[in-house]
Structure 1
Amino acid sequence: MAERRGIPVYLSLEEAAEAMAVSVKTIRRWIAAGTIPAYRCGKRAIRIKLDDLEAAPRKIPAARY
């Protein structure tokens, strides 16, 4: 039996920012830098796939002693 893929979940910039605990401006910077892909829906709305957001690399700051 073939496994059925689920429908992708798309988030607004505000929802993506909240999910990643960053600002909307940071999400826009990541899109501009190519860190996460974004999709235009209609004339103005920009959406991000949840799977793409979860796969985005996150920098971990180095510990200082």
Structure 2
Amino acid sequence: MPVPRPLPSEQRLGTPASEWVSFQQAAQLVGVSVDTLRRRIRAGKLPAYRFGERLIKIRVEDLDNLVRSIPLGNRLRRRCAS
């Protein structure tokens, strides 16, 4: 079952008004655990920004770019046949 792509941040219900979100908020928006987000940051797939010594935030725009669609239909069959 494909993972639903999040709507643009302006259309999401319950999205904080700020363009920056905490780990917990980001995990809830994307539907993954905080540990998964930390692994994506460590792998260089998700940028995160430090505010002061301990506070780390993630941009909502970067979360939107993290999620991508899965190829379906003919595109998937061609990959399997190759």
Q: TM-score range by the shorter chain?
A: 0.7 to 0.9
Percent of residue pairs bearing the same amino acid type: 44
TM-score by length of 2: 0.59
| Larger of the two Rg values belongs to structure | 2
| Structure with the larger strand share | 1
> What is the alpha-carbon root mean square deviation over aligned residues?
2.2
Q: Which residue of 1 aligns with 2:46?
A: 36
Q: Which residue of 1 aligns with 2:4?
A: none
Name segments (4+ residues, structure 1) moved above 4 Å.
none
Q: How many residues are paired up? A: 56
Where do 5+ consecutive residues of structure 1 fail to align?
1-7
* Cα separation, 2, equivalents of 1:58 and 1:31: 16
DSSP 3-state at the match of 1:25 = helix
